[in-house]
């Protein structure tokens, strides 16, 4: 029996089957052999009166937006394949980001405090051969998804929202004036839901986003495995980003660890491509089990495992995903709007929640629901696009010759040392997945002075053309930073504009603000 199977057998409900089915999906992705779904169709006949303003398919992050829209008095229905329920494992985020829920009236201060299951300080960043960096108040809050989603569900229902649980999205037919959403077995002509706008919140493997992406393979993938366990003698601090091994199996392994409400969570993750020869999740779990004792300085026998955690996050350079159809908007993981560096899709949604809910409200008010108007709600974000180069520098090609197995560690140690020297205003936003022009320029400049050879080595690794492509995003980041204050002035001035003009002006202003990471300074 493998070390992984041995460990999984100890966990209540034995998650072996879950791991095997996640591995099948990962295999499908590498082999690119899953048929592309055909779930969205178009019909040129008008639909007439619709029952809903918004139908949201997928309830996990969908309920965040659903509750906000129901509170704006829109007629909202959520269609959820299973029961709308948060997972046991906490979502990590920083405290200041959570305040959005209170500002938007979605949680009271008391409810927010109850939703916070854990809080720790400080968090460590450490690479082999480098020195440890400690930071406070970054991704150090564990939110209890069960309580959060239940509270938002009640807020949604109290605001007049309708929740259809155990009801699966099956197909959408886009008409000029609305969308018919067929669910469950409701394919008969007069059933299904009719809506002005369909929001797809069905996650990375949403049939709608898979139809849009077609046979395209993801440009990068983040694999993650881990556990939550009791028995660690020390459990007060966390690790945000740690590596202690050289490149192994054409991958750099990274670790995260933090206190959870019922033990300590430890994750092993890596960045790679979806080449068919990449290893399985089960192999990666074996690596986790092999290295965990060294990482946490503990015997596995001392641990009482509560949960196994695993997943993979495909990401595409062409993100966020733009719908090719009118009246359909992807949000959450299905939109690919989080950075390829993080598996913080909940955090990304919270960061954009106010912008998205106000933007959707304005789009409905102004009837700006065609594909080009809606694309402004998931706009190009240079601060997201620049992160691609970091992802590339931390991954290794399947057939790449590794001449220096410590190169990634050395590069990261130099970059993080430079960021630490530049101060909190450079390091903290980056760790929270917010990239800003000033901070990035400082980090690049300082690293090229302190470690010129390490930086020069990046050029052949990335390739000259991808590097030029990256420069374009970097310059756009600078341009967006310059435009962001102008956007704020335009947004003020737009009060006298028509609803349509206001929608466009607001969305451009928001794209500049969020695309430059200036929302972090709010």
Nearer Cβ to ligand FAD (346/416): 346
| HSE toward the beta carbon, residue 451, CA cutoff 13 A | 19
Residue 173's H or E segment, with its range, is: strand 169-175
Q: Give the CA radius of gyration of the chain.
A: 23
Tell me the backbone φ, ψ of residue 251, rounded to 5 degrees.
-145, 150
Q: Kindly give the residue spans of alpha helices, DSSP state H, lying in 13-141.
A: 16-31, 62-71, 95-103, 109-115
DSSP assignment, residue 388?
Answer: H
Tell me the backbone φ, ψ of residue 4, rounded to 5 degrees.
-65, -50
**259 touching ligand FAD, by CB under 6 A:** no
Q: Are strands 178-183 and 193-200 parallel, antiparallel or unpaired?
A: antiparallel
CB of 269 to ligand FAD, least distance (A): 9
Distance CA 309, CA 258 (A): 14
CB of 462 to ligand FAD, least distance (A): 27
From the list 146-154, 332-340, 419-427, 429-437, the region that binds ligand FAD by CB under 6 A is 332-340
CB of 239 to ligand FAD, least distance (A): 13
List, in sequence order, every residue forming a beta bridge with 79; answer none if it has no partner: 57, 164
Nearer Cβ to ligand FAD (58/161): 58
Tokens of 353: 């929640």
CB of 171 to ligand FAD, least distance (A): 10
Residues 6+ apart with CB under 8 A from 116: 95, 98, 141, 142, 143, 144
* Interface size with ligand FAD, residues (CB under 6 A): 28
CB of 473 to ligand FAD, least distance (A): 23
**53 touching ligand FAD, by CB under 6 A:** no
**168 touching ligand FAD, by CB under 6 A:** yes
SS (H, E, C) 317-354: CCCCCCCCCCCEEECHHHHCCCCCCCCCHHHHHHHHHH
CB of 344 to ligand FAD, least distance (A): 4
Tell me the backbone φ, ψ of residue 52, rounded to 5 degrees.
-130, 150
CB of 246 to ligand FAD, least distance (A): 25
Residues between 449 and 508 that touch ligand FAD (CB under 6 A): none
**417 touching ligand FAD, by CB under 6 A:** no
Residue 221's H or E segment, with its range, is: strand 220-230
CB of 131 to ligand FAD, least distance (A): 26
Q: Determine the 3-state secondary structure of 9 from DSSP.
A: helix
Q: Determine the 3-state secondary structure of 229 from DSSP.
A: strand
Beta strands, E only, 176-233: 178-183, 193-200, 220-230
Residues 6+ apart with CB under 8 A from 513: 484, 487, 488, 519
**224 touching ligand FAD, by CB under 6 A:** yes
Q: Which of 284, 295, 346, 480 binds ligand FAD (CB under 6 A)?
A: 346
**218 touching ligand FAD, by CB under 6 A:** no
CB of 168 to ligand FAD, least distance (A): 4
From the list 95-103, 195-203, 370-378, 488-496, the region that binds ligand FAD by CB under 6 A is 195-203
C-alpha closest to that of 211 among 129, 325, 57: 325
Binding mask 292-321 for ligand FAD (x = CB under 6 A): -----------------x-x----------
Binding mask 56-95 for ligand FAD (x = CB under 6 A): -xxxxx-----------------xxxx--------xxx--
**166 touching ligand FAD, by CB under 6 A:** no
CB of 224 to ligand FAD, least distance (A): 5
From the list 4-12, 98-106, 237-245, 338-346, the region that binds ligand FAD by CB under 6 A is 338-346
**201 touching ligand FAD, by CB under 6 A:** yes
C-alpha closest to that of 377 among 487, 208, 511, 210: 511
Task: By CB under 6 A, name the binding residues for ligand FAD.
Answer: 57-61, 79-82, 91-93, 168-169, 201-203, 224, 309, 311, 332-334, 343-347
């Amino acid at each position: 029996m493998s070390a992984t199977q041995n460990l999984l057998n100890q966990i209540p409900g034995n998650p072996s089957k879950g791991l095997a089915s996640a591995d099948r999906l990962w295999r499908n992705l590498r082999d690119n052999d899953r048929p592309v779904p055909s779930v969205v169709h178009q019909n040129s006949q008008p639909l007439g009166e619709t029952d809903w303003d918004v139908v949201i398919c997928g309830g996990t992050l969908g309920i965040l937006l659903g509750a906000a829209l129901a509170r704006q008095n829109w007629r909202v229905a959520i269609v959820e394949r299973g029961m709308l329920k948060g997972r046991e494992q906490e979502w990590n985020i920083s405290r200041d980001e959570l305040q959005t829920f209170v500002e938007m009236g979605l949680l009271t201060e008391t409810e927010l405090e109850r939703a916070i299951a854990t809080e720790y300080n400080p968090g460590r960043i450490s690479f082999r051969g480098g020195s440890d960096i400690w930071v406070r108040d970054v991704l150090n809050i564990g939110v209890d998804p069960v309580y959060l989603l239940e509270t938002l569900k009640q807020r949604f229902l109290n605001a007049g929202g309708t929740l259809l649980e155990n009801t699966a999205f099956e197909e959408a037919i886009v008409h000029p004036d609305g969308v018919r959403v067929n669910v469950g077995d409701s394919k008969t002509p007069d059933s299904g839901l009719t809506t002005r706008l369909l929001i797809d919140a069905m996650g990375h493997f949403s049939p709608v986003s898979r139809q849009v992406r077609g046979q395209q393979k993801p440009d990068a993938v983040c694999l993650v495995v881990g556990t939550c366990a009791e028995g660690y003698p020390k459990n007060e601090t966390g690790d945000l980003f740690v590596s202690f091994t050289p490149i192994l199996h054409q991958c750099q392994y990274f670790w995260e660890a933090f206190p959870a409400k019922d033990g300590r969570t430890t994750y092993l993750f890596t960045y790679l491509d979806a080449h068919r020869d990449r290893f399985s999740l089960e192999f990666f779990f074996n690596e986790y089990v092999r290295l965990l004792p060294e990482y946490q300085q503990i015997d596995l026998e001392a641990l009482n495992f509560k949960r196994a955690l695993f997943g993979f996050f495909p990401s595409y350079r062409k993100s966020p995903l733009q719908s090719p159809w009118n009246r359909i908007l992807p949000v959450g993981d299905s939109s690919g709007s989080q950075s390829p560096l993080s598996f913080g899709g909940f955090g990304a949604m919270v960061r954009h929640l106010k912008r998205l809910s106000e933007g959707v409200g304005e789009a409905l008010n102004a009837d700006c629901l065609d594909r080009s108007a809606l694309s402004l709600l998931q706009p190009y974000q240079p601060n997201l696009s620049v992160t691609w180069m970091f992802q590339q520098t931390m991954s290794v090609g399947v057939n790449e010759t590794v001449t220096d197995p410590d190169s990634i560690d050395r590069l990261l140690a130099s970059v993080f040392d430079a960021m630490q020297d530049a101060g909190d205003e450079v390091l903290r936003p980056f760790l929270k997945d917010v990239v800003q022009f000033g901070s990035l320029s400082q980090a690049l400049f300082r690293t090229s002075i302190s470690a010129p050879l390490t930086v020069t080595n990046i050029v052949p690794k990335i390739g000259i053309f991808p590097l030029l492509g990256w420069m374009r995003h970097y310059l756009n980041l600078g341009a967006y930073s310059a435009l962001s204050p102008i956007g704020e002035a335009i947004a003020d001035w737009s009060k006298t504009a028509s609803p349509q003009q206001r929608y466009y002006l607001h969305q451009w202003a928001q794209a500049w603000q969020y695309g430059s990471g200036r929302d972090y300074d709010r």
